[in-house]
Structure 1
Amino acid sequence: MVSRTLLCLAVFTASTPLLADTVWLKNGDKLSGKITLFDGGKLLIQTEYAGAVPIDWKQVKTLESDQQLLVKQDAYTGEKAKALHAAEDGKVTLANGDGPKTVELASIQQMLKPKPVVEDLVWKGNIDVALDYQRAENDTDDYDVDFKTSARHGRWRHTAEGEYNREFQDDVVTTDNWRGEYSLDRFLTDKWFWQGRLVYKRDKVEDLARQRTVGTGPGYQFWDDELGAFSLGSLLNRTDYEYADGGKDNFYSVAMKWDYNRYLVAKKVEFFTNGEVGKPLGNVADYALDAEVGLRYKVTDWASLNLKAERDIIKGSDEADLSKTRYTAGFGVTW
C-alpha cells in the first residue's frame, strides 16, 4: 500500500510542471522562465529555450512570479514581495500576505532577489589570468593577473581593481609591477555621480618606482544594464612620483576617465575598454595615458577567454618618460 502511494506521488510530481515566472508583452507575446533581475530599464528572464533574455521594460504589459523579490520604487527603499501577480495593463500586484498592493510598472526602478545583509546589493566582476611561455634563443616567461569588481547598493557604488605583471627573460626579471585602485561613487541623480578615488602603482624594474594618486570629481553614467555599461568621469588629481634613484616629484592634474563594456552575440562576447588620460597642471609632463581594450568570450556562465591590449604613456619630463604596449591572451572567471 505504501509503495503504491509513493509511486502515485512520484508520477504526480513528474507530471506537474514546475512553477515559472511569466511576462506578458504589449505586442501580445508571452515569455515563461525565471526572472533574475530588473535594472537599468532591462528585465532579465532566464528561459529553457533561449537562455537569458533581456526585455525592454517599456514593452512589458504585466508579469507574475512565485519567488520572493525586492521591488524598489526609488533608490533608497525597497519592499519584499513574496510573489508578484499579474494586474491590468501597465501594473503589477505585490503580494504580501493580507496586504497586496498594485503599483505602476513605470514606478519600479529595480527588482532583484534580496540578499541576506544588504538586500539591494548588485555585485559583478571578473578575474583574468594570462600566461606566456616562449622557448627559443631567448627563453621568456610572462605572467599577468588582473581583477575588477564593483558592488552597488542604493546610491553608492564601490569599485576595486588591480593588476600584477611579471616577466622573465633567460631567468632575468624584465618586468615586475603591480597596481591597485579603489573608487567610491555617490549617485546624485540616476545618471550623475561624484567619485573619490585612490590609485597606487609599484614597479621594481622601471625608473618610475612608485605612483600614488588621489582624485575626486563628477561623472556621468550613460547606461548600466544587462547588456553593458558606459560612464565618463572627470577628476582633479594629486599625484606623487618616487624614482628608483630616490628622487621625488608631485603635481596636480586634471583627467578624464572612461569605462565601457558591451555584450554581443547573445551575451557570449564582451567588448570592453577603460582608461584615463590626464594633463598635469604645470610643466611636469605633457600628458599621461593609461588604457586597455579587449574582448572576452564566455565559454560557460562563469568561465571566459580574453584578448587584451594595454597602453601606458607618460610623456614630457625626461625622468618620467614611459611608453609601453602590452598584449595578452588568457582565461578568466566572470560573475
Structure 2
Amino acid sequence: MLSRTLLCLAVTCASTPLLADTVWLKNGDRLSGTIKLFDGGKLLLQTDYGGAIALDWKQIKTLESKEPLLVKQGEYTGEVAQSLQASDEGKVVLSEGGAPKTVELASIQQIIKPKPVITDLVWKGNIDAAVDFQKAENDTDDYNLAFKTSARHDRWRHNAKGEYNRESQDDVVSTDNWSAEYSLDYFLTDKFFWDGRVNYKRDKIEDLSRERTVGTGPGYQLWDDELGAFKVGALLNRTDYQFSNGQKENFYAVAGTWDYNRYLVGKKFEFFTNGELGKPLSGVADYALDVEVGLRYKVTDWASLNLKAEKDIISGSNDGDVDKTRYTAGFGVTW
C-alpha cells in the first residue's frame, strides 16, 4: 500500500505543470520565472538562472501566469486577473472568473501581486544599523540606526523616515540625537504630486536642542520602477528652533528636495542620495543643507551591507554656523 501511494504521488507530481510564469519576446526568446512587478516600462522577472531580470515592456510579445495578478489599465484603477494567458503579439488574455478578456499590452500601465486588504498597495523600505565598539586606551561606543519606508495606494503615497545616533568615549556621551519625518504625497497626475510634511529633531548635546519643520509644496516624480526612483520637490517651510538655554526662534524658508536611488549589477548594488537645500526668507542664516549619500550591497534578497555619508550645514546663522559630517558602515534589511 505504501509503495502504491508513493507511486501515485510521483505520477501526480510528474503530470502537474510547474507554476512558472512565461514571457515571450519579440525576438523569439522565451523566458520562464516568476513575474514580480511591471511598472515604469519594465517587467521584473525573477529567475533561478539569472536572478531578477528587468525586461523592456515594448520588447514583450505576450506572456502568461498561473498566479493572480492585479492588472491596471488606468492610472489608479485595476482588476485582479486569476491568470494571464498568452495571446497574439502585443496582447494578453485576462481570466477573471467570468468570460476571458483580451487586452493590448500597450494599454497596461502596471502589474503587481494583489495584497490581502489593499490590493494595489506598494510598500518598500529599509532599516540600516551600524555599531562600532572600540576597547583601547580610550573606550569608544558608536551607535547608528536609521529607517526609511514608503507605501503607495491609489493617488496617495505615505513616506516616513527616522534616525538615531549616539557616541560616547569613556562613558562621556558626545553625540545623542534622533530625528523623525513623515510626508504625504497626493498625485495630481502620474508625475506631478503635492507634498506635505513634518520633521522633528531632538539633540541632547548640542545648543540647538529641538527643531521642528512643517512644509508643503509641489513635486515631480521623474521615474519610479524596479531599477530605482527619482523625485524632486519645492517646499515652503516654517521652522521652529529651541536652544538649550530656553531661547526660541522661528522663520520661514524655501527649499528644494531630492530623493534618488538606482540599482546596479543585477540589483546587487544600490546607490542612493537624498537631501534638502533651504534658504531662509529672513536673515537668520544664509542657507541650510542636509544631504545623505550611500551605497548598499544586497547579500540576500532581504539582507544588505551599507556605507553612508551624511552632511549637515547651517551657514551664516546668527547663533553660529553648523558643519557636521558623519560616516557609517553597517548592515540592514530591505523589503
TM category, shorter: over 0.9
Deviation at 1:320, TM superposition (A): 4.8
Which residue matches 2:239?
239
Partner of residue 260, structure 1? 260
Q: 1:208 touches 1:320 (CA, 8 Å); kept in 2?
A: no
- Matching of residue 286 in structure 1 with residue 286 in structure 2: yes
Matched with 1:56 is 56
Q: TM-score, normalised by structure 2?
A: 0.97
Tell me what 1:188 maps to: 188
Secondary structure, aligned partner of 1:19: coil
- Post-superposition Cα deviations, 1:130-154, rounded to whole Å, max 9, x if no partner, equal 0112233322110000000000111
TM-score (norm 1): 0.97
* Runs of 5+ consecutive residues of structure 1 not aligned to the other structure: none
Task: Show the counterpart of 1:161.
Answer: 161
Question: d(CA) in 2 for partners of 1:329 and 1:113?
Answer: 33
**How do 1:89-100 and structure 2 match up within 5 A?**
89-100=89-100
Checking the alignment, whether the CA contact within 8 Å between 1:239 and 1:251 is kept in structure 2 is yes
| In structure 1, C-alpha distance between the alignment counterparts of 2:250 and 2:318, rounded to whole Å | 15
RMSD: 1.3
Q: Is the 8 A contact 2:284 2:318 kept in 1?
A: no
Give runs of ≥4 in structure 1 deviating > 6 Å. none
Q: What SS class does the counterpart of residue 305 from structure 2 fall into?
A: strand
CA distance in 2: counterparts of 1:318 and 1:254, whole angstroms? 18
**Would the aligned equivalents of 1:223 and 1:230 in 2 still touch at CA under 8 Å?**
yes
Q: Counterpart of 2:42?
A: 42
Whole-Å separation in 2 of the counterparts to 1:112 and 1:188: 22
How far 1:3 sits from its partner (Å)?
Answer: 3.3
For 1:250, the equivalent position in structure 2 comes to: 250
Deviations 1:235-254 (A, max 9, x none): 00000000000001100000
Amino acid at match of 1:148: K
Structure 2 stretches of 5 or more lacking a match? none
1:305 corresponds to which residue? 305
Deviations 1:291-318 (A, max 9, x none): 1101100011100000000000111124
Query: Partner of 2:8: helix, strand, or coil?
Result: helix
1:115-154 correspondence to structure 2 within 5 Å: 115-154=115-154
List per-residue Cα deviations over 1:173-197 (Å, max 9, x = no partner).
Answer: 1000000000000111111111001
Cα offset, 1:6, TM superposition: 3.4
Question: Secondary structure at 2:115's aligned position in 1?
Answer: coil
Q: Deviations over 1:220-262 (max 9, x none)?
A: 1111111111111110000000000000110000001110111
Q: CA deviation at 1:13?
A: 1.1
Please state whether the residue corresponding to 2:283 is helix, strand or coil: coil
The one-letter amino acid paired with 1:46 is: Q
1:303 aligned partner, one-letter code = A
CA distance in 2, matches of 1:330, 1:253: 34
Determine the C-alpha separation between the residues in 2 that align with 1:270 and 1:113: 23
Q: Distance in 1 between matches of 2:14 and 2:96?
A: 30
- Quote how far apart the aligned CAs of 1:98 are: 3.1
Deviations 1:108-143 (A, max 9, x none): 111111111110000000000001122333221100
Maintained 8 Å contact 1:291/1:312: yes
Q: Whole-Å Cα distance in 2 between the matches of residues 18 and 245 of structure 1?
A: 69
Q: What CA distance in whole angstroms lies between the structure 1 residues aligned with 2:299 and 2:280?
A: 42
Q: Secondary structure at the match of 2:118?
A: coil
Aligned partner of residue 117 in structure 1, secondary structure: coil
Where in structure 2 are the equivalents of 1:26-37 lying within 5 Å? 26-37=26-37
| Partner-residue secondary structure (3-state), 1:7 | helix
Indicate yes or no: 2:58 matched with 1:25.
no
Please say if residues 37 and 111 of structure 2, whose CA atoms lie closer than 8 Å, have aligned partners that are also in contact: yes
Alignment-mate amino acid for residue 53 of structure 1: I
Q: Contact 2:209–2:242 at 8 Å: present in 1 too?
A: yes
Instruction: Tell me the secondary structure at the aligned position of residue 319 of structure 1.
Output: coil
Instruction: Give the 3 Å change call, closer, same or farther, for CA 2–129 of structure 1 in structure 2.
Output: closer
2:86 paired with 1:86: yes
